[in-house]
Amino acid sequence: MAGETLLIVDDEAGVRELLEIVLSSEDYRLLFADNPDDAIQKIQSEAPNLVLTDLYMQNDRRAGFRVLSWVKEHCPWVPVIMITAHGTVETAIEAMREGAVDFILKPFPSNDEVRIRLRRALKELSLNREVAALRWALRQRSTQDEMVGSSPKFLEVQDMIQRVASLPSTVAIYGESGVGKELVARALHEHSPRAKKPFVAINCAATSPPADLCTPLRRARSLWTNSSQRNSSSASIRTFESVPMQTASGRESIASPSPSPSPRFPSVIGQTQILPPSAV
């Protein structure tokens, strides 16, 4: 994409010059480095949009992986493409596993192939930016649209939501029916570190023991039927964070408790654990 900054890392001057010629028609801003340390300094000072790095440099067979590892740790949104003349299937698999978005063998298949792969990586970067921006905007707007008020008490509640949301504590929300307890619960969830995980609202009065807590969660994915649990009862307790696919990691809004709450209820509130029916 036009205007993007690319960092090319290769210890061979001929390869750097070739890539400069190949990409001269793409309107990129090109930066060059001939070793991992110089590359890292340029990433820190110039903030490139994409890094194209050789794998082997100056007799260092892991040079490209050093650059890749640094990028993934400090700026993981920046795509990294590995290039090498000594590639194997195992090396390509390792590079992709470590976070590279592509792997190109030298000599390059064609000039057009290099351009296409760079465009594809930058297009994916652009899409990821748009998705992140939309998610942030929706998260900021959803709670604001649903919770409207200007009284001192209302502003106090909003301030409390901001302060409590980041804590790993259980939150009890009290109030009469219709005052917006679930809206507060959703606002807490959306401002918490678990905002990307599902929010599960459970109406205890509308569920029948003994499946009161299990049934709503089982709709996403069964909690009790994986192979390790079929063989024994040793896996009879599951925490929210260990549920497959994290299907029950969100905060729970618990409304209208039944007159005789389930014996599983205290473990959910106090210990964020769910007991399957067989364990009660």
CB 214 within 8 A of CB 274: yes
pTM of the predicted model over 0.85? no
Residue spans of alpha helices (H) in 23-164? 36-46, 63-74, 89-98, 111-146, 152-164
For 181-190, what is the mean pLDDT? 83
**Quick check: is 210 in a domain?**
yes
Q: Using the 3D structure, point to which of 104, 131, 158 is the last residue of a domain.
A: 131
| Token pair belonging to 58 | 């100056």
How high is the mean pLDDT of the chain?
Answer: 75
Q: Is 54 exposed, middle or buried (0-12, 13-18, 19+ CB in 10 A)?
A: buried
Whether residue 123 is found in the same domain as residue 156: no
Asked if pLDDT for residue 34 goes beyond 80, the answer is: yes
**Quick check: is 115 in a domain?**
yes
pLDDT in tens, 214-247: 444 444 444 334 434 444 333 333 444 444 333 3
Whether residue 116 is found in the same domain as residue 168: no
- The CATH number of residue 11's host domain is 3.40.50.2300
Find out whether the peptide bond into 107 is cis, omega within 30 degrees of 0: yes
Phi, psi of 76 (to 5 degrees): -65, -15
**Alpha carbon distances (Å) from 279 to 241, 263, 273:** 19, 10, 12
| Token pair belonging to 148 | 């409207």
pLDDT in tens, 93-143: 899 999 999 999 988 889 999 999 999 999 998 898 888 777 766 765 655
Whether residue 105 is found in the same domain as residue 156: no
Structural domain for 207, as ranges: 147-279
State how many domains the chain has: 2
**Quick check: is 136 in a domain?**
no
